């Protein structure tokens, strides 16, 4: 009985903290409730988020607001075609110490808790790849020396649609390191009016810090303990494997239009996100509905179309939704 009460208390505490963050972000960000919830889910899981949309939809504003809600270090990098890897990671510089010249590592903006990689796909692939190690191992290696990043650490990146001028497609290896890829849509009539009220007047909503890094790590530990039934885990595995065109259980559309399917990292993302969603819903177990709810943002950037799929204008999200029972 005590164990049951303890679990119920953990679920309630988790849901309260999540709701507090969601409400505080909502003091400034209009609409986008699902986007906000999915970004918070990724942050709690220690994952990275890729926000895609045309300029002016509030992607950067969302990340700035989120950084104000959390009591963590925040830095921003504006990605441009002339940006170099050393501008992100840091570099060894020669300094005068005790009368002799020595090399000393000068840390770049990557050394933070929250990194806003703004318009990440405007930098060259060489510069984009500078984030590969940091996003996976949370370390930076310069001059043969490995430097640890602070915890928690996550990258919140924005990008313009790749059809726009001056953009470079992100490498598949980097896309796979993003926990979620989220598409930010144009607000409706009512939301547009509220945006104008909040951003063009004299008084703007004051955003308060409502959670610390230690509390985020504690929430992640709580989520990691949520049990997953064998049936649900098998369902998740079948979904991921079915995204591969050479799998015997792959649907017709996957076999015809997909070039590469989702990686094991995608399965890890699904189970982590589903656990957090279950807790937010007030449950201490994962259901199939939790898997289905997070499948599109977790898999859409990891399932790559072939030439025929791109030529036919196939929507990857539709393919992923068709995999749900």
Q: pLDDT digits over 32-83, tens only? A: 788 888 999 999 998 999 988 777 667 778 888 888 888 888 889 899 888 8
**CATH code of the domain in which 267 resides:** 1.10.8.80
Residues 273 and 308 in one domain: yes
Residues 208 and 273 in one domain: no
Q: In the predicted model, is pLDDT for residue 94 greater than 60?
A: yes
pLDDT of residue 249: 84
Q: Which residue has the tokens 């909040």?
A: 198
Select from 169, 197, 222 the last residue of a domain.
222
Q: In the predicted model, is pLDDT for residue 22 greater than 90?
A: no
Report how far residue 17's alpha carbon sits from residue 164's, in angstroms, rounded to the nearest whole number.
Answer: 38
127 pLDDT band, cuts 50/70/90, is confident
Residues 149 and 294 in one domain: no
Residues 208 and 128 in one domain: yes
What is the DSSP secondary-structure string of 2-66? Answer: HHHHHHHHHHHHHHHHHHHHHHHHHTTS-S-HHHHHHHHHHHHTT--EEEE--TTSSHHHHHHHH
Q: Between β-strands 70-71 and 211-212, what pairing exists: parallel, antiparallel or unpaired?
A: parallel
Q: Residue 175: which H helix or E strand, with range? A: helix 172-175
Q: Is residue 96 part of a domain?
A: no
**CATH code of the domain in which 65 resides:** 3.40.50.300
State percent of the chain over pLDDT 90.
Answer: 24
Select from 222, 251, 268 the last residue of a domain.
222
Q: Establish whether the linkage from the previous residue to 172 is cis, with ω within 30° of 0.
A: no
The alpha-carbon radius of gyration of the chain (Å, integer) is 21
State percent of the chain over pLDDT 70.
Answer: 94
State the total domains in the chain. 2
Task: Enumerate long-range contacts of 122-126, CB under 8 Å, 24 or more apart.
Answer: 122/79, 122/80, 122/81, 122/160, 122/166, 122/167, 122/168, 123/79, 123/80, 123/81, 123/83, 123/168, 124/81, 124/83, 124/168, 125/168, 125/171, 126/85
Q: Is residue 98 part of a domain?
A: no
Residues 214 and 237 in one domain: no
- Domain with 325, as residue range(s), is 226-325
Q: What is the pTM of this model?
A: 0.86
Question: Picking from 12-21, 55-64, 138-147, which range would have the lowest pLDDT averaged per residue?
Answer: 55-64
Q: Is residue 103 part of a domain?
A: no
pLDDT of residue 275: 95
Q: What is the mean pLDDT of the chain?
A: 85
Q: pLDDT digits over 192-248, tens only? A: 777 777 777 666 777 888 888 898 899 999 999 999 999 999 999 999 999 999 988
Residues 216 and 242 in one domain: no
Q: Is residue 121 part of a domain?
A: yes
Residues 301 and 216 in one domain: no
Q: In the predicted model, is pLDDT for residue 1 greater than 60?
A: no
pLDDT of residue 108: 86
Report how far residue 240's alpha carbon sits from residue 256's, in angstroms, rounded to the nearest whole number.
Answer: 17
293 pLDDT band, cuts 50/70/90, is very high
């Amino acid at each position: 009985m005590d164990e049951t009460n303890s679990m119920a208390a953990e679920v309630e505490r988790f849901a309260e903290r999540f709701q507090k963050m969601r409400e505080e972000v909502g003091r400034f960000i209009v609409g986008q409730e699902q986007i906000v919830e999915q970004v918070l889910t990724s942050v709690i899981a220690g994952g990275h988020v890729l926000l895609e949309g045309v300029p002016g939809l509030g992607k950067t504003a969302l990340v700035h607001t989120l950084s104000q809600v959390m009591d963590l270090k925040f830095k921003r990098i504006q990605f441009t075609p002339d940006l170099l890897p050393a501008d992100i990671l840091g570099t060894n510089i020669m300094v005068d110490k005790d009368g002799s010249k020595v090399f000393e590592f000068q840390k770049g903006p990557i050394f933070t808790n929250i990194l806003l990689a703004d318009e990440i796909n405007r930098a060259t692939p060489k510069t984009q790849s500078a984030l590969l190690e940091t996003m996976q191992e949370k370390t930076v290696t310069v001059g043969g020396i490995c430097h640890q990043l602070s915890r928690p650490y996550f990258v919140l990146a924005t990008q313009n649609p790749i059809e726009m001028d001056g953009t470079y497609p992100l490498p598949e290896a980097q896309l796979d390191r993003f926990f979620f890829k989220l598409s930010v849509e144009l607000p409706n009539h009512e939301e547009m009016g509220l945006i104008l009220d909040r951003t063009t007047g004299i008084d703007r909503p004051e955003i308060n810090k409502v959670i610390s890094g230690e509390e985020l790590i504690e929430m992640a530990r709580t989520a990691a303990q949520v049990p997953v039934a064998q049936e649900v885990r098998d369902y998740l595995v079948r979904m991921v494997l079915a995204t591969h065109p050479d799998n015997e259980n792959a649907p017709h559309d996957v076999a015809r239009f997909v070039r590469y399917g989702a990686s094991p990292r995608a399965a890890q993302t699904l189970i982590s996100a589903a656990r957090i969603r279950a807790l937010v819903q007030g449950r201490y177990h994962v259901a199939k509905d939790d898997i289905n709810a997070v499948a599109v943002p977790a898999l859409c950037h990891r399932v790559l179309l072939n030439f025929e799929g791109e030529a036919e204008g196939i929507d990857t999200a539709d393919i992923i939704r068709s995999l749900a029972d």
